[in-house]
Structure 1
Amino acid sequence: MRIRHCLAVIGIMCTAVLVAQDKQISLEDIWSGEFRTQGMQALHSMANGKQYSVLNFDRASRNSSIDIYDYKTLEKVETILNSADIADLNGFFDYSFSEDESKILLTTNSKPVFRRSTLGEYYIYDRDDKTVTKLSDDLVQEPTFSPDASKIAYGLNNNLYVKDLESGKVTQITNDGKKNSIINGITDWVYEEEFGFVRAFDWNADSDKIAFIRFDESEVPEFSMDVFGSDLYQTQQVFKYPKAGEKNADVSLHLYDLNSEKLSELKVSKTYNDFYIPRLKWTNDEDVLSAQYMNRHQNELDLWFINAEDNTSKLVLAETDKAYVDVTFDLTFLDDDSFIWTSEKDGYNHIYHYDKSGKLINQVTNGDWEVTNYYGYDEDVNTVYYQSVENGSINRDVYSIKLNGKNKERLSSTDGTNSASFSADFTYFINTHSSAMSPSTYTLNSAKDGKVIKTIIDNKDVVEKLDDYVTSQKEFSTISVNGNDLNMWMIKPANFDPNKEYPLFMYQYSGPGSQQVANRWNGANDYWYQHLAQQGYIVACVDGRGTGLKGRDFKKVTQNELGKYEVEDQIEAAKLLGKRSYIDEDRIGIWGWSYGGFMSSNALFKGNDVFKMAIAVAPVTSWRFYDTIYTERYMTTPQENPSGYDENSPINHVNKLEGDFLLIHGSGDDNVHLQNTMRMIEALVQANKQFDWMIYPDKNHGIYGGNTRLHLYTKMTNFIHETLGDKRELKPEEEKVKSQIKG
């Protein structure tokens, strides 16, 4: 009786394990956040170098707190602030310290403007007297403490303001701001999107001067989008958007002196026509401002030092490139006013050290690999910290090196994607590691030698949860395409049988300098690919020519011809994969989003003998419809390069469509406008080509909110099943020919 009972229990347990391991990843699982990993939100290293702060949120009470932890012990040593203790706060979701950490700016409410910009409600918390003060009754932009924490500057209604935190006095320092005309200190749409910043003003070291960029966009063409909402009549969003070849905003550099209360324009001793100011930053000298000027083609970048006292300027560094020069945030001024700069002038992105006059002291890093992140410089030990792909282009590692380029040391020890957040004194760093096999793990490491001191977060619960599901390994390899060894990953069904043939579904993005084949943990799309593998598909991704982290020449080969070499590589890769015995070459599909949608459309049209279906989400269908800064960086203007624009835009190849095509867009996409899809639809209709399409009302380029993502991926999944899922029965003679070719 006892033996039987034990056997029965064992049987039940075995059955339970088998059932658990057969669990399928559903679309509902993915988009409900079932596999969400834990992270460290709003991590800030305290100035003492011994502690760090994070933002913690209690979902049950809806309270937020800023907690300080000790690096050495990882124990919480203090709660600076808890929203439950302050009557005026219902909670906050972000924070930033003043430079001396005496005050904290709390974000309590925000409203998105574009991708990076928001209008927000802010409060100032004084750590000394424990008081909370509302910054403004208005929703403002980019509030920033002065270095001495006595004032805050911010943008409101296209003007700049300064609030004195002791007296409460607010000074409006510009008065000509006007919607869709003049913007002071906040970037316009195209700068925000393509140069990656919103705050176009900066405090000097003495907190008595503010430099800012002024945008005159009065002559920039307007773009309008219907906002359908829920009212009886729709409204319109109207904003300035310069499309390729059209008028940009006129930019100028200005200075406000808080002592004299005077506003003046800063000029450099060179005449520029049709130019950009993509970066401004004060040097350690309170009177010297650095500003980067770039020509419209973006193949010349000048670094200027401007003396704000006498308005004199000096050209310190001039970079040129046959294609384009990348703009970064890596410029760092050292105590002696020499500076760190990154450049790919030797063919790969590396770190350089210049003296204050712009004379090269030395190239700090060197090799046939790319620096992917610059973390900082520790003057005490004369050491630079950075991230690179020296350990293989699909991996990222953290390194240290002396400023003279010697004694390089790998500080991360596990292959995959490693990134670092250093303590203020560079004693420690928190390393975030993930790979295709392991989720994000946060560890405390010694900056001296990289040794792991303690694990902070390991996300083992996600691994344990996934153990219950049927999953497949992401296999990394290279594939030789058009004379290049391209990085590739592939996901096969868990019950893969090499004697069977499977449909192939390819994903790519392919934009200049991008990377999709990376050794890192799953994003939401990766779980979708696992779901498709469960359904019997092989999913693959190939990074073709034009993508990043393999050097300048590999990345910039697509110059003036976006969509030519990248498409050729995807078509050829699909052909090669289709020859593999386990892939059904009659059932190959491809998809992509944004640039990837541009690519998948082109691949289906130009590779109509290879691809049987494609999905394009929010695609650019002609580069004539996209913005100046991004498009002209790679293509110059349509007036200069009409063939480059037209010969590789999918809208001009719709007559070649033979397979199945699903076109998807959000009507509120301020980035890649719905115009792209509407013009594509019209071209397809006039070519008498049948296709499927879906518009998501008022959704932006990300197409999300509520059930939107679940609906979108359900629609795409169903389309894949309909077009690739049912194998066409081949005639015996076709099957024979096919097997001979593959053999």
Structure 2
Amino acid sequence: MKSKLSKAIVAATLLTSIPTLTNAQYQPYYPTYQQIVKRYQDNYLLDSITKNKVLNSNINVHWNPNDNSYCWYAKEIQPQIFEYIIVDTKNGKKIKAFDMDKLLHSIPSDTIITSKDISQVFINKKDDNILFVWNKQQYSYLPNFNKITLLGKAPLEKPVNPYGKTDFKDRWSRWGSFATDTISPDKKWSATIRNGNIFILNNLTKTEKQYTTNGTDANFYGSLAWSPDSKTLITYHVRPVIDSNVYFVLSSVPGTTRGVLKSNPYKQPGDPFTTYEMFVIKPQEEKITKVKTDIIDFFDAPEIHWEKDNQYFSYERVDRGHQRFRIVGVNTNSGDTTNIVDEKTKTFIYENRLISYYLPESKEIIRSSEKDGWQHLYLVNTATKKEQLITKGNWIVRDVDSVDTQKREIWFSASGLYPTEDPYNIHFCRIKFDGTGLLDLTPENGNHKVRFSPDKKYLIDRYSRVNVAPISKLKSVITGKNFTTLEIADTSALVTIGTSLIEPFVAKGRDGKTDIYGVICKPSHMDPNTKYPVIENIYAGPQDAFVPKDYLPYSEMQSIAELGFIVVQIDGMGTANRSKTFHDVCWHNIQDAGFPDRILWIKALAEKYPFVDTARVGLYGTSAGGQDAMGGLLSHPEFYKAAVAACGCHDNRIDKQWWNEQWMGYPVGPWYAEQSNVTNAHKLKGALMLIVGDADENVPPETTYRVADALIHAGKSFDFLPIPGSNHTDGGPYGRARKKDFFVKNLLKVTPPDRNDNDDFPLPKTGIR
């Protein structure tokens, strides 16, 4: 198998050295039945043997908790075989922490123990002591004496993703309701709600006062929040809305003879929200004041941000429709309000990407905005309401990690810093409040993930590109200087197998100027004189960008490619992480899905690589990608010929409120119906497969069933694959196998192997999920 694949790679490489061939000389790939069976067999083998073939792709560094003078990590020397390395952070010197074989042989056991069997390794360099866990027991090991001691039951340890999303503690979700304890911080006052009204008890005098009389069980007062000095209580007169239910039937629950009806509250676009009318109570003064602001009718009770003197607070407000964002200042004595920040836009403000960091000591706020066309940070003076741009340029701030109020510095991540680099690559930077001193701590070309030492003097920088293996470095946070390269991921075992590696590709978008980024997966066994059909893995959700940027040794896209396809993934206009103009394409226009850019990209790919057959293009996607996949057939049948749409949100009126109103706007306009796959189902051309789980709580299953109903009424042919008992899904292993069969049948025009015939289909079964 290895030799065949290696020869295939050589053949693929020869492709670029045959300049005499023209497009006309490339013959479309239409395999015989026997050839496709062989491809399936090789495909299943590759899916298996490519697992765990890259070593040290993601190392997890642990720090000496006392002074961070050293750190340690597990180095994978063979698959699932480790040794531990200590790093001196002062000079970057690396040494082996202990002899792993000696430690393993010291463990009293009748079974063979390997390094993968031990965990929670803690190295105390000062005492020359190793703590570790094996078989749910904790041991101490002294390497110099080769002595092991059982300490007892292992302590619980929460799994840590060493390169998870970094986020500062002051971030919150505006979708989460805010409330504090009913007892004031100084314990002097206790607030209670009875019959919908507020009563406050003085815990010292045991006297109680009723502050409201118009509350009821239906329209009550609640969402209480005390000021830090316990002199002020924020409350709201709440008029709740009970969300309507969506329903689905679980058709195949074990032990039943009937379908089980399920329901859950589900807010759809246009549905009403609970409202909050804000009041301020001062119990020492026995005074209640209505805050002079509009009733809050979008999101729940907001987070309260107190000024140092506790006489003023601010809260954030996003108007429904996502076209106005305010930070409102409130005077607790008078109830007067002022807009510290009042930003409006003709399209949308991406609420989920708003960054706000409050500095009460200096009466400042660090916030983000795209008002100059790029996501940048601003310093706001809450007294004067003046804003100063901190970061600037044709690049974006992705997130803020932390703020140093003493040094007046911000630690943040950014994309697009370098014109010659992929603009989606994330870098980690530091800058002063006044916009000076910008320092990229991670300047190497790649997508970076960092983890700081506890004292934030050092960082571990792991970076890679989609086709360049990860490198992990120890760096100084002060200077960005590289102390040492910890590990470079070992890909030799994967290279030996001979699979085709994923490649980045860039082409111009619809405006002829903007670069559109994507990736391409090719079969490992390519005929240099053959044209292969294209399958696009599509997800055009405006909430993010989706083309992988980290090293990707093997994936489902490559697995599909091995059957004889060119598989691509593209971020077209309308997705996030670029300029505001790039993103705004999606406004009231989800149906666009970046298709003009995607089609041009694939055509440009065919111009560079004649083995790309643009006459046979398919696409597949899940969730919003399912909507996009079917949408491609409906809106661009001249280009896309086959699609697999899994659990698609095919009609933005039926899908979840928060996602759809963000991009399609509020109130619900006629464009919602005009862009619905249900509305446009009668336009279907080409081959379509619909997949849906009948227990989908994310996108109501009825969305897919409504599409099926519209197709049936229009007399259209399509494949339909319901997955009993499954939630939001692409069908799992079974659905992914059926997806491959679908594209083999409709793009390669050959009957896939019969999964019901063991002689005809001698492959591993995929009927699990």
TM-score (norm 1): 0.69
Residue in structure 2 matched with residue 324 of structure 1 by the alignment = 348
Residue in structure 2 matched with residue 400 of structure 1 by the alignment = 430
Residue in structure 1 matched with residue 167 of structure 2 by the alignment = none
How far 1:254 moved relative to its partner? 8.7
CA distance in 1: counterparts of 2:227 and 2:53, whole angstroms: 46
Residue in structure 2 matched with residue 409 of structure 1 by the alignment = 439
CA distance in 2: counterparts of 1:30 and 1:592, whole angstroms: 26
**In the alignment, structure 1 residue 443 sits paired with structure 2 residue 473:** yes
**In the alignment, structure 1 residue 511 sits paired with structure 2 residue 541:** yes
Residue in structure 1 matched with residue 106 of structure 2 by the alignment = none
CA distance in 1: counterparts of 2:130 and 2:355, whole angstroms: 33
CA distance in 2: counterparts of 1:142 and 1:34, whole angstroms: 49
Residue in structure 1 matched with residue 408 of structure 2 by the alignment = 382
Work out whether residues 299 and 325 of structure 1, in 8 Å CA contact, stay in contact via their aligned partners in 2. Answer: yes
**In the alignment, structure 1 residue 630 sits paired with structure 2 residue 649:** no
Residue in structure 2 matched with residue 372 of structure 1 by the alignment = 398
Task: Tell me: CA distance 1:286–1:518, structure 2 relative to 1, closer, same or farther (3 Å).
Answer: farther
CA distance in 2: counterparts of 1:617 and 1:256, whole angstroms: 52
Residue in structure 2 matched with residue 419 of structure 1 by the alignment = 449
How far 1:76 moved relative to its partner? 9.5
CA distance in 2: counterparts of 1:211 and 1:434, whole angstroms: 49
The one-letter code matched in structure 1 to 2:637 is N
- Match among 699, 722, 727 for residue 672 of structure 1: 699
- Residue aligned with 1:664, SS: strand
How far 1:434 moved relative to its partner? 2.6
Task: Tell me: CA distance 1:222–1:607, structure 2 relative to 1, closer, same or farther (3 Å).
Answer: same
Residue in structure 1 matched with residue 494 of structure 2 by the alignment = 466
**In the alignment, structure 1 residue 297 sits paired with structure 2 residue 321:** yes
Task: Tell me: CA distance 1:16–1:660, structure 2 relative to 1, closer, same or farther (3 Å).
Answer: closer
Residue in structure 1 matched with residue 22 of structure 2 by the alignment = none
CA distance in 1: counterparts of 2:617 and 2:244, whole angstroms: 41
CA distance in 2: counterparts of 1:323 and 1:428, whole angstroms: 41
The one-letter code matched in structure 2 to 1:356 is T
- Residue aligned with 2:734, SS: helix
How far 1:522 moved relative to its partner? 2.2
Q: Flag structure 1 segments of 5+ consecutive residues without an equivalent.
A: 1-11, 97-115, 118-140, 151-179, 186-200, 729-743
CA offsets per residue over residues 666-704 of structure 1, 9 Å max, x none?
Answer: 22222211111000111111111111122222322245x
Residue in structure 2 matched with residue 529 of structure 1 by the alignment = 557
- Match among 722, 728, 731 for residue 701 of structure 1: 728
Work out whether residues 378 and 389 of structure 2, in 8 Å CA contact, stay in contact via their aligned partners in 1. Answer: yes
Task: Tell me: CA distance 1:654–1:367, structure 2 relative to 1, closer, same or farther (3 Å).
Answer: same
Task: Tell me: CA distance 1:298–1:711, structure 2 relative to 1, closer, same or farther (3 Å).
Answer: same
The one-letter code matched in structure 1 to 2:511 is G
Matches within 5 A, 1:714-729: 714-726=737-749
CA distance in 1: counterparts of 2:430 and 2:129, whole angstroms: 29
How far 1:343 moved relative to its partner? 0.8
Task: Tell me: CA distance 1:581–1:80, structure 2 relative to 1, closer, same or farther (3 Å).
Answer: closer
CA distance in 2: counterparts of 1:239 and 1:509, whole angstroms: 26
Q: Flag structure 2 segments of 5+ consecutive residues without an equivalent.
A: 11-41, 75-79, 83-112, 139-150, 162-174, 188-217, 752-769
- Match among 608, 625, 632 for residue 637 of structure 2: 608
Task: Tell me: CA distance 1:496–1:611, structure 2 relative to 1, closer, same or farther (3 Å).
Answer: same
Alignment length, in residue pairs? 614
CA distance in 1: counterparts of 2:386 and 2:708, whole angstroms: 54
CA distance in 1: counterparts of 2:606 and 2:636, whole angstroms: 13
The one-letter code matched in structure 2 to 1:534 is E
Task: Tell me: CA distance 1:214–1:436, structure 2 relative to 1, closer, same or farther (3 Å).
Answer: farther
Matches within 5 A, 1:477-556: 477-484=505-512, 485=514, 486-496=516-526, 499-522=529-552, 527-556=555-584
How far 1:285 moved relative to its partner? 3.5
- Match among 268, 272, 292 for residue 243 of structure 1: 268
The one-letter code matched in structure 1 to 2:264 is F
Residue in structure 1 matched with residue 756 of structure 2 by the alignment = none
- Match among 591, 614, 622 for residue 585 of structure 1: 614
Work out whether residues 544 and 575 of structure 2, in 8 Å CA contact, stay in contact via their aligned partners in 1. Answer: yes
Task: Tell me: CA distance 1:207–1:568, structure 2 relative to 1, closer, same or farther (3 Å).
Answer: farther
CA offsets per residue over residues 332-352 of structure 1, 9 Å max, x none?
Answer: 233423221111110000111
CA distance in 2: counterparts of 1:337 and 1:396, whole angstroms: 31
How far 1:717 moved relative to its partner? 1.6
Residue in structure 2 matched with residue 658 of structure 1 by the alignment = 685
How far 1:415 moved relative to its partner? 1.5
RMSD: 5.1
How far 1:182 moved relative to its partner? 10
Work out whether residues 119 and 134 of structure 2, in 8 Å CA contact, stay in contact via their aligned partners in 1. Answer: yes
Work out whether residues 182 and 218 of structure 1, in 8 Å CA contact, stay in contact via their aligned partners in 2. Answer: no
CA distance in 2: counterparts of 1:453 and 1:659, whole angstroms: 57
CA distance in 2: counterparts of 1:48 and 1:337, whole angstroms: 34
- Match among 584, 588, 600 for residue 560 of structure 1: 588
**More displaced, 713-722 or 357-366?**
357-366
TM-score (norm 2): 0.67
CA offsets per residue over residues 182-236 of structure 1, 9 Å max, x none?
Answer: 9987xxxxxxxxxxxxxxx999768999989998654422223334532415544
Identity %: 20
Matches within 5 A, 1:95-174: none
Task: Tell me: CA distance 1:472–1:80, structure 2 relative to 1, closer, same or farther (3 Å).
Answer: closer
Work out whether residues 352 and 360 of structure 1, in 8 Å CA contact, stay in contact via their aligned partners in 2. Answer: no
The one-letter code matched in structure 2 to 1:686 is H
Residue in structure 2 matched with residue 333 of structure 1 by the alignment = 358
Work out whether residues 567 and 602 of structure 1, in 8 Å CA contact, stay in contact via their aligned partners in 2. Answer: no
Work out whether residues 417 and 434 of structure 1, in 8 Å CA contact, stay in contact via their aligned partners in 2. Answer: yes
Task: Tell me: CA distance 1:32–1:403, structure 2 relative to 1, closer, same or farther (3 Å).
Answer: same
How far 1:456 moved relative to its partner? 5.4
Task: Tell me: CA distance 1:270–1:551, structure 2 relative to 1, closer, same or farther (3 Å).
Answer: same
CA distance in 2: counterparts of 1:597 and 1:446, whole angstroms: 45
Residue in structure 2 matched with residue 125 of structure 1 by the alignment = none
CA distance in 2: counterparts of 1:510 and 1:407, whole angstroms: 36
Work out whether residues 5 and 525 of structure 2, in 8 Å CA contact, stay in contact via their aligned partners in 1. Answer: no
CA distance in 2: counterparts of 1:245 and 1:613, whole angstroms: 33
How far 1:657 moved relative to its partner? 2.0
CA offsets per residue over residues 680-732 of structure 1, 9 Å max, x none?
Answer: 111111111111122222322245xxxx632222121222212222379xxxx
CA distance in 2: counterparts of 1:337 and 1:271, whole angstroms: 24
CA offsets per residue over residues 565-623 of structure 1, 9 Å max, x none?
Answer: 62343345455556663222332111112111111111112222221211111111111
How far 1:142 moved relative to its partner? 12
**In the alignment, structure 1 residue 692 sits paired with structure 2 residue 719:** yes
- Residue aligned with 1:29, SS: helix
Work out whether residues 31 and 709 of structure 1, in 8 Å CA contact, stay in contact via their aligned partners in 2. Answer: no
The one-letter code matched in structure 2 to 1:324 is F
**More displaced, 20-29 or 279-288?**
20-29
- Match among 271, 293, 299 for residue 276 of structure 1: 299
The one-letter code matched in structure 2 to 1:645 is Y
- Residue aligned with 2:682, SS: helix
- Residue aligned with 2:594, SS: helix
Work out whether residues 544 and 570 of structure 1, in 8 Å CA contact, stay in contact via their aligned partners in 2. Answer: yes
Task: Tell me: CA distance 1:28–1:212, structure 2 relative to 1, closer, same or farther (3 Å).
Answer: farther
CA distance in 1: counterparts of 2:63 and 2:613, whole angstroms: 51
**In the alignment, structure 1 residue 360 sits paired with structure 2 residue 386:** yes
Task: Tell me: CA distance 1:544–1:384, structure 2 relative to 1, closer, same or farther (3 Å).
Answer: same
Residue in structure 2 matched with residue 102 of structure 1 by the alignment = none
- Residue aligned with 2:545, SS: coil
**In the alignment, structure 1 residue 431 sits paired with structure 2 residue 461:** yes
**More displaced, 674-683 or 598-607?**
598-607
Task: Tell me: CA distance 1:52–1:90, structure 2 relative to 1, closer, same or farther (3 Å).
Answer: closer
